[in-house]
Structure 1
């Protein structure tokens, strides 16, 4: 502080300067703490640790071996899928171009489904112990890491998010449970860091399912790469977006504003919530758009919470109220309850998808929360299959899984 600045504050004496400097230093520290994401990354990452842990996999393996239900039926469903085939030929591209709603679709479906195949084969390897499935999963991951360089067009961030939510699940299982070797593993890691991470790590101001899926991908990549800075950054962004995606009455009379995007007035918020003006527990920012995209967001929230729990920072207690209400509300209407006039004008576009199993298991099986509508829908849909984007085989991996 200069002499001229001091003379403009007659109450600030020379004696008080050390205190003032200390106060300034404290303010700088506080501003840094506010600007820097809170530490979320573990001191040591757990592996396999993206959505499924070794304990969870061991539980599933035991249930399938015992021919217990619903796991055996879920395994049989997975094993019969083309994604589990040893004769699958991957179709990698150097550049994947995806426009809105995947139009144009130049490699978009191929990329997503090859990632799902790698994950499916990794699961089949672990459950059966048959090394052929591990080597096939590796061959698919190697095929893409050898050629993929970029994603283009308007859906590039979302396409990247969907594929990169799935690749690390497969890679974690193979890297940390298969002892037969993976010579090109580092090349695959480089692909995650250089091709996928730049597309997802900065988030999105679009509908919430975009950013939630992008943060799921960023967190999965961070676990595989053991990158604590990326993990912390993605978790901080995820927490803000999840709170702005699912409304609960504790938020006040209206939902929270999204963390980015310039939505900062009530009118803009209503428009962002697709015209909805009545807010109840469990309503989603995309409920009045359609249940399919809402399901993408709910699924990503469940997946991130599952990964965070495996990594030692359990986000479920923080998310439990939002997630249980969201699952319950959307399950109720998915089951056939007519929409009241105040909800989306009385007209809902259903299609929630196979997205309830992970959240239901966490909240009901592990935390003991009663969820009648969600339980009815979840059990009716078993065994849950895949949405062909980034959700797959969650009855197998998470039904009644206590781990």
Structure 2
């Protein structure tokens, strides 16, 4: 059984935010959201039946409109929950109803990624409205379009594309699966994520070469090097798109974190699998973004430093929930970049996830996950109560059942 609302944000997380809207960093983030065109009650949706998106959304026949409308729906859903002003819930519904009345397909070469961008935001908006507001009469129609128009291409994956594509698509797929209470699609999204994670972020324990994405046609050393944009030396935290640019790399890392966050709310601990890769990748790219020297062996000595506000969700999970203190550059970049705004499938993540310790979803229904070494990392919880020690001698989270000082399920 799925826990609702449970797509990227939980009720407990949002209640934490509501209690802190007058404090930083949430105050500045909240002010930004309220002043955004996406949060305006005069916002008007521009739906269409066929969203046609070519390379880099050219042609752009409804692509930008759908992305903006899905972000506006999510923004209004957040504003509804944080204010309890029903006008914002009704505006979110108005936007989603406009789209569910007409959308039939996405076409063009960029269609799978476009479906991911829009599907991620629409699933978050629909989840919040359906499970925190009464009176959405067309909720079933919208859910039907998520199932028939959005989910099929997302679940199919894109193993030969740059990794951010399939990761963003999986982010949308797991969100839609939760909203639809679709366990089979949820499990399939998790399987895709598990396969793509080591094919996107390298660790030296992987061997001399990165792993190929499951289902891809990359079978040789030369093909994998070409897929990794010509990089021949591999170190912990390097990603498949590092030598492309940091913007798309940030998207990939954000999507990895989003999937893990949604799974976390459903009692599945994917952070146990991603924690080492995410830490290394986030800190490596943040260090270079902040002006660190680029070694000659990395991307020919030149990288494109265009990292965006992509780390808030992952950083919160790693640093604030799991207690990792060994990501100083990621911490500096996250705090320097606040408050995070919006970008395609990323919206208001300083507001929703900064310093947010809530463990919603991680009660007795949690199911175990394993690292590559096969060692189970997930704690068990009797009757949903637990105390987790972070292994650093003092911090603990959760209600009452202490497992023991110094013990940690994460190290």
The structure 1 residue matched to 2:237, chosen from 270, 282, 292, is 282
Alpha-carbon shift at residue 249 of structure 1 (Å): 1.3
Q: Could you tell me which residue of structure 2 aligns to residue 344 of structure 1?
A: 299
SS at match of 2:48: coil
Q: Structure 2 CA distance, aligned partners of 1:112 and 1:354?
A: 18
**Residue equivalent to 2:84:** 129
Aligned residues: 356
1:46 aligns to what? 3
Q: For residues 69-94 of structure 1, what are the alpha-carbon distances to aligned partners after superposition, in whole Å with 9 as ceiling and x for unaligned?
A: 10011000111110000000100001
The separation in 2 between residues aligned to 1:261 and 1:374, in whole angstroms, is 31
Greater RCO, CA 8 A, separation 6+ = 1
Question: Which residue is equivalent to 2:395?
Answer: none
Inter-partner Cα distance in structure 2 for 1:322 and 1:393: 24
Tell me, in whole angstroms, the C-alpha distance in 2 between the residues paired with 1:385 and 1:303.
16
What is the Cα-based RMSD across aligned positions, in Å?
Answer: 0.7
Residue correspondence of structure 1 range 47-126 to structure 2 within 5 A: 47-64=4-21, 67-126=22-81
Which residue of the partner structure matches residue 15 of structure 1? none
Task: Identify which of 145, 151, 156 aligns with 1:202.
Answer: 156
Whole-angstrom distance in 1 between the partners of 2:195 and 2:88? 39
> 1:292 is matched with which residue: 244, 247, 261?
247
Tell whether 2:216 aligns with 1:261. yes
Partner residue, 2:385: none
- Where 1:240 maps in the other structure, the secondary structure is helix
CA distance in 1, matches of 2:264, 2:206: 24
Match of 1:19 in 2: none
Rounded to whole Å, the distance in 2 between the matches of 1:78 and 1:253 is: 45
Counterpart for residue 277 of structure 2: 322
Give the C-alpha shift of residue 338 in structure 1. 2.7
Instruction: For residue 48 of structure 1, report the CA deviation from its aligned partner.
Output: 0.5
Counterparts of 1:141 and 1:107 in 2: how far apart (Å)?
Answer: 15
Distance 1:99 1:294 in 2: 21
Q: Aligned pair 1:385/2:385, yes or no? A: no
Tell me what 1:220 maps to. 175
Q: Does 1:164 align with 2:119?
A: yes
SS in 1 for 2:346: coil
For 2:198 and 2:39, locate their aligned partners in 1 and report how far apart those are by CA, in whole Å: 36
- How many Å separate the matches in 2 of 1:230 and 1:297? 21
Gapped regions of structure 1 (runs ≥ 5): 1-43
| Partner Cα separation in structure 2 for residue 315 and residue 244 of structure 1 | 16
Distance 1:334 1:87 in 2: 38
Question: Could you tell me how far apart the structure 1 residues matched to 2:140 and 2:116 are?
Answer: 20
Match of 1:395 in 2: 350
Q: Is 2:147 the partner of 1:193?
A: yes
How far does residue 337 in structure 1 lie from its aligned partner after superposition?
1.3
TM norm structure 2 = 0.86
User: Counterparts of 1:79 and 1:381 in 2: how far apart (Å)?
Assistant: 19
In the alignment, the residues of structure 1 paired with residue 100 and residue 169 of structure 2 have an alpha-carbon distance, to the nearest angstrom, of 20
**Secondary structure of 1:278 counterpart:** coil
Query: Residue 201 of structure 1: SS of its match in structure 2?
Result: helix
CA shift at 1:172, angstroms?
Answer: 0.7
For residues 373 and 386 of structure 1, the distance between their equivalents in structure 2, rounded to whole angstroms, comes to 22
Q: Which residue of 2 aligns with 1:28?
A: none
Q: Distance in 2 between matches of 1:165 and 1:338?
A: 35
The reply to whether residue 249 of structure 1 matches residue 186 of structure 2 is no
The two structures have a TM-score, normalised by structure 1, of: 0.88
Partner of 1:352, secondary structure, is coil
Tell me how far apart the structure 2 counterparts of residues 107 and 333 of structure 1 sit (CA, whole Å).
36
SS of aligned partner of 1:337: coil
Q: Which residue of 1 aligns with 2:195?
A: 240
Gaps of 5+ in 2: 359-411
Find the residue that maps to 1:183 and give its secondary structure: coil
Find the aligned partners of 1:284 and 1:265 in 2 and give their Cα distance.
Answer: 18
Moved over 4 A (4+): none
Distance 2:79 2:163 in 1: 32
